[in-house]
Amino acid sequence: MQKKSQQQCLMDQPRQLALPFPYHPRFIHSEFISAPSNAGARTWLGINQHIRSIPSWPDRRLLVWGDSGTGKTHLLQIWADRESALFLPGSILSENASIYWLQKIKEEWVKALVIDDADVITNHHALLHLLNLAKESDLPIVLSSRNPPSRWSVGLPDLASRLRAMTTVKIEQPEDNLLRILLLRLLAERQLVVSSSMIDWLLVRLPRTASAIREAVHRLDKATLADGGGVTRNLAIRVLEDLLSFDSIESLQETEEPLFFFDF
């Protein structure tokens, strides 16, 4: 059997494997982008005061809601850090977990409580127990969710009534300028450098939502890791096909401006 030529060996080599390194955003005050779309939530949380303050919400309960990617977790993390609050992701809460956290709150000096993504909690007894304990202990509590409580599917009447009675504030979809800043920041966090013309190209064609911007950057990052090269317009169209506005997409035959990825 003849040996393969060098060219054949190169052609047989697999594409670069994209290792699943997790992306961890930084939720610190200095990195939060203030804008009119989140002004209401910032006011209710007293974020602009930069000092601890006693919440004036009815029953000391507040629910911040808005679409995915609008900054709810970031905002609640800022508030939790300032208020020395226990920050609990809704995804970790179950009946057994709630027993653990209930005991922890009773034993330790917890000054406030945050439950992020509360609408993903499937065991509603766990959430009800935490709300009751917060009230008994006179702890301010902040919840976040993608939808207002009136749109949650809650089978427990006691929990449903408590949620309906909560003060709620919505974070709106980001303005055009905020979308641009968000796109630039997400690219920078992944150490991706792109031209200003490509930024404009993406912003014109992507849906005007924070979640779409985050999803687009995630896909581009993953695709370039797998391909081992830079980003081209063709690549963007290939991996973002279901997100882009096809009414505005140029012909694939047009000259492309490649985008390269550098280490900062």
Domain that holds residue 261: 175-264
Per-residue pLDDT, 159? 94
Looking at residue 232, its amino acid is T
> What are the pLDDT digits (tens) for 193-224?
778 888 899 999 999 998 899 999 999 988 87
Last residue of some domain: 153, 170, 187?
170
Per-residue pLDDT, 4? 46
pLDDT(154) > 60: yes
**233: CATH:** 1.10.8
156, 92: one domain = yes
Note whether residue 191 is domain-resident: yes
Looking at residue 139, its amino acid is L
Looking at residue 231, its amino acid is V
261, 191: one domain = yes
184, 164: one domain = no
> What are the pLDDT digits (tens) for 34-53?
899 999 999 999 987 655 66
145, 193: one domain = no
166, 190: one domain = no
Per-residue pLDDT, 119? 93
Mean pLDDT of the region 16-43: 69
Note whether residue 15 is domain-resident: no
pLDDT(26) > 70: no
pLDDT band at 93 (very low <50, low <70, confident <90, very high): confident
**155: CATH:** 3.40.50.300
* Widest pairwise Cα distance in the chain: 82
Q: Are 35 and 247 in contact (CB under 8 A)?
A: no
Number of folded domains that form the chain:
2
pLDDT(77) > 90: yes
pLDDT(1) > 60: no
Looking at residue 180, its amino acid is R
Sole residue written with tokens 């800043």: 181
> What are the pLDDT digits (tens) for 105-129?
877 778 899 999 999 998 898 899 8
